[in-house]
């Protein structure tokens, strides 16, 4: 591991780390904010998953989480969205598949299967490496959140791993990848044509199949989001939760779009909500 940078912020430390990943076979980068409370003992962790085309830097620079994390004593961990530097055939041809678009799945199709293992990376290796970088992290006390593709990742990984994640929230998540162009392209490319395999990476399908988050789920969705009707479809998540009795708080925010201005506006609400459950 290498500490690339460390910057003081609201009494805490904003760090950026790189390490050689066994899961992806590439160098991976993540950002880690350690609140002032980390100087005195273990602190709970909020894991944030970014959306299409993003890296760790988008939320680190634009998310506005540091002040609230410092107040609440929360660490904030943000990984990259895919392996980098591989130059696989077709990897850089489009913004919504390949580089920057790992979709938080473990790919089974070639040439992706060897490197595009973002589910295993995020839920296993990343947490282990972050714990080695910062022994003050309480890896028994983790919440997960994310935006867009990362909201999809937060919902699916959180629902599949209630042993690991105590609370789930999302900003404008891809609610049902099976039913939208982004998801169909990604799941088909990474997993092949077996729709049964797709259900493991669809929040609505997981809830239909019995997955639950006892602490409830918080979602914020902007009503001026340009991807709302075609790609995000929060009504599908709302209906799946209603039928299954899964607690869901869905805030539809008038006038807000898909940008980091939206995320920064409601980041404090999410951190306080997650913090109450950690």
Of 122, 40, 43, the C-alpha closest to 81 is 122
- 2: which 2 tokens? 């290498």
What pLDDT digit, counting tens, does each position of 116-132 carry? Answer: 999 999 999 999 999 99
Model pTM above 0.95: yes
Task: Please identify which of the residues 31, 99, 148, 169 carries the catalytic annotation.
Answer: 148
What pLDDT digit, counting tens, does each position of 24-64 carry? Answer: 999 999 999 999 999 998 999 999 999 999 999 999 999 99
What span, in angstroms and rounded, lies between the C-alpha atoms of 146 and 251?
A: 15
220 catalytic residue (yes or no): no
83: confidence class by pLDDT, cuts 50, 70, 90: very high
What span, in angstroms and rounded, lies between the C-alpha atoms of 267 and 256?
A: 13
- DSSP sequence for 160-182: H-TTTEEEEEEES----GGGSHH
Mean pLDDT of the chain: 98
What span, in angstroms and rounded, lies between the C-alpha atoms of 161 and 84?
A: 26
Instruction: Give the CA count within 13 Å in the CB-facing half-sphere of 156.
Output: 31
Task: Please identify which of the residues 99, 147, 225, 270 carries the catalytic annotation.
Answer: 225
pLDDT for the residue numbered 107: 98
Average pLDDT over residues 104-112: 98
3-state secondary structure (DSSP) of residue 84? coil
What pLDDT digit, counting tens, does each position of 86-105 carry? Answer: 999 999 999 999 999 999 99
21 catalytic residue (yes or no): no
225 catalytic residue (yes or no): yes
Name residue 7's beta-bridge partners: 14
Task: Please identify which of the residues 115, 147, 152, 258 carries the catalytic annotation.
Answer: 258
Average pLDDT over residues 256-265: 98
What pLDDT digit, counting tens, does each position of 208-251 carry? Answer: 999 999 999 999 999 999 999 999 999 999 999 999 999 999 99
- 184: which 2 tokens? 């169909």
pLDDT for the residue numbered 252: 98
Distance in Å from the first CA to the final CA of the chain: 28
Q: In the chain, pLDDT over 90 holds for what percent of residues? A: 100
Please enumerate in sequence order all residues whose Cβ is within 8 A of that of 74, keeping only pairs 6 or more positions apart, or say none. 35, 43, 44, 45, 46, 68, 271, 274, 275, 278
Q: In the chain, pLDDT over 70 holds for what percent of residues? A: 100
pLDDT for the residue numbered 119: 98
162: confidence class by pLDDT, cuts 50, 70, 90: very high
């Amino acid at each position: 591991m290498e500490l690339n940078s460390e910057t003081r912020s609201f009494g805490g430390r904003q760090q950026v780390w790189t390490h050689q990943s066994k899961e992806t076979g590439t160098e991976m980068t993540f950002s880690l904010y350690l609140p002032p409370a980390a100087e005195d003992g273990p602190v709970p962790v909020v894991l944030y998953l970014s959306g299409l085309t993003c890296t760790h830097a988008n939320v680190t620079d634009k998310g506005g989480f540091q002040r609230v994390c410092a107040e609440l004593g929360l660490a904030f961990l943000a990984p990259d969205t895919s392996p980098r530097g591989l130059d696989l055939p077709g990897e850089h041809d489009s913004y919504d598949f390949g580089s920057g678009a790992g979709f938080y799945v473990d790919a089974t199709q070639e040439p992706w299967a060897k490197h595009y293992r973002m589910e295993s990376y995020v839920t296993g290796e990343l947490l282990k490496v972050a714990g080695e970088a910062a022994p003050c992290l309480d890896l028994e006390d983790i919440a997960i959140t994310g935006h867009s593709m990362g909201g999809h990742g937060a919902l699916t990984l959180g629902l599949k791993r209630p042993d690991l994640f105590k609370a789930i929230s999302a900003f404008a998540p891809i609610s049902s990848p099976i039913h939208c162009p982004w998801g169909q392209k990604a799941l088909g490319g990474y997993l092949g044509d077996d729709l049964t395999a797709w259900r493991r990476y669809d929040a609505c399908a997981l809830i239909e199949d019995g997955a639950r988050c006892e602490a409830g789920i918080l979602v914020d969705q902007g009503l001026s989001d340009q991807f709302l009707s075609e790609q995000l479809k929060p009504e599908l998540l709302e209906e799946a939760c209603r039928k299954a009795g899964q607690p869901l708080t869905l805030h539809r925010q008038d006038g807000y779009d898909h940008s980091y201005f939206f995320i920064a506006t409601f980041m404090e609400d999410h951190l306080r909500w997650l913090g109450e459950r950690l």
